[in-house]
Amino acid sequence: MAECIHGFENGLCDSCFPKAAPVKPVVARVVQPRTSSGGRAGKQPPRPTFVVADQRVYHVTHVSNLEAIVDAGELNATSTPVVDVSSDLTHELRSTAEFAANQRVSDHVAFYLSPQATVWDSLREGAVDPRWSDAARTAAVSDFVVLVSNFGALGTPVVTDGDAAGSVTRFATDPGSVDRLLRTLYGTEQARDAEVLAPEPIPFEAIQLVGVANEPMRERVREIVGSTKIVVYPPWFQPTPAS
């Protein structure tokens, strides 16, 4: 059966499963009612439904770390990875950054709100970003995998509007502020800088799909993750096009 490369259920993606052109209906002219000022009331476009729990989140790691994650059955912020993709400076800053009493950034599993996250994009561009380790910067981008889940599968995560170790970053920690910040970030460029910090551990079963750069990596990952859905989607592994 064909599989959507964008991670949607079969039949829900118009690109991978194009629908037949609909029969053009006969539309009768509708006169808009007049407003109190005498003008015609304009047609209001429908607003997309925003459901916090359904918002997708993305965790990037080196493929060499994947087997240990699957064997443990969870993502754990304090485990020792085979390939540490974070620099010593990143570890230091995140281990000293607290957003509440005894709540350190480093004790949480970090996800992005976008597969085009700024920090991930810097690695894809080959930029010297101090947040990435030497091992990460010298690895091929195709050696990374993107683990995709949704907000509702992460327990009670915290949302930031920027780098979680940044001195001016805002944190949303309660459901009301999380909802407001996510709605503010949704569909904006700033969402690329945001983070979702999930309390560890995150069960691997919460990962809905794994994004990879090419078919050889897909076969390698399939041997590790078994039945977890794997999608080949090269744009996630290429620099974000300039707007």
Share of the chain above pLDDT 90, in %: 72
Residues 118-143, mean pLDDT to the nearest whole number: 95
How much is the pTM? 0.81
Tens-digit pLDDT profile for residues 175-207: 999 999 999 999 899 999 999 999 989 999 999
**Cα–Cα dist 212/234, whole Å:** 7
Task: Look up residue 53 and give its DSSP letter.
Answer: G
| 95 phi and psi angles, rounded to 5 deg | -80, -20
Is 220 in contact with 129 (CB distance < 8 Å)? no
38 pLDDT band, cuts 50/70/90, is: low
Kindly state the average pLDDT of the residues 215-231: 96
pLDDT in tens, 139-152: 999 999 999 999 99
Q: Are strands 98-100 and 229-232 parallel, antiparallel or unpaired?
A: unpaired
User: CA-CA distances (angstroms) from residue 216 to 57, 122, 133, 148?
Assistant: 25, 24, 25, 20
Q: Domain segments of the chain: what residues?
A: 53-237
- Would you say 99 and 170 are in contact if contact means Cβ atoms under 8 Å apart? no
Q: Is 59 helix (H, G, I), strand (E, B) or coil?
A: strand
d(CA 159, CA 161): 7
